[in-house]
């Protein structure tokens, strides 16, 4: 079996939603402790709905594919749904990632959470801090 699924290869070679949103409502940037790679996510939010999302990464191919898929999964969705997105769900949507590449998909999940937290913080919206635990180190 090939190391990477066709979906991973597709999102890696043709990533969706790459770039920057100049007037973003929330921006999240996280680093991966394991490899030192960085991910940045920009969100445009209207009435609690993520109407646009873009990402930039200094990450590997799996990070690019994961972010591309993750942005597709949250675009047009309510914030509450985006907060529930796990890296496992992203990996499943990609038809799997090799075990040693699962940590790359964590970048996308954490950057989305961080961007939503930034949106809440910059817009004076109250939230339950328990929703945003410190990013894990593994």
Give the residue numbers annotated as catalytic, written as ranges. Answer: 35, 104
Residue 83's Cβ-count burial label (10 Å; 0-12, 13-18, 19+) is middle
Q: Which of 44, 46, 40 is nearest to 24 (CA)?
A: 44
Asked whether position 107 contacts ligand FES by CB under 6 A, the answer is yes
Among 35, 83, 89, 93, contact with ligand FES (rule: CB under 6 A): 35
Return left, alpha or beta for 126; rule: phi > 0 is left, psi -120 to 50 is alpha, else beta. beta
Nearer to ligand FES, 41 or 107 (CB): 107
Measured between its terminal Cα atoms, the distance across the chain in Å is 27
CB of 130 to ligand FES, least distance (A): 27
Asked whether position 59 contacts ligand FES by CB under 6 A, the answer is yes
Measured from the Cβ of residue 13, the count of other Cβ atoms closer than 10 Å reads 10
Among 25, 26, 37, 110, contact with ligand FES (rule: CB under 6 A): 37
**Which region, judged by CB under 6 A, interacts with ligand FES, from 41-49, 55-63, 67-75, 80-88?**
55-63
């Amino acid at each position: 079996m090939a190391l990477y699924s066709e979906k991973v290869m597709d999102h890696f070679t043709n990533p969706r939603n790459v770039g920057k949103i100049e007037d973003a409502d929330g921006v999240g940037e996280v680093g991966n402790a394991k490899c030192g790679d960085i991910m940045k996510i920009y969100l445009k939010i209207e009435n609690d709905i993520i109407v646009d999302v873009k990402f930039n990464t200094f990450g590997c191919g799996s990070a690019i594919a994961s972010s591309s898929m993750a942005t597709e999964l949250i675009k047009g969705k309510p914030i509450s749904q985006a907060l529930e997105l796990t890296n496992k769900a992203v990996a499943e949507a990609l038809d799997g990632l090799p075990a040693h590449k699962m940590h790359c998909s964590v970048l996308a999940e954490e950057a989305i959470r961080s961007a939503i937290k930034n949106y809440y913080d910059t817009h004076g919206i109250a939230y339950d801090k328990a929703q945003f635990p410190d990013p894990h180190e593994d």
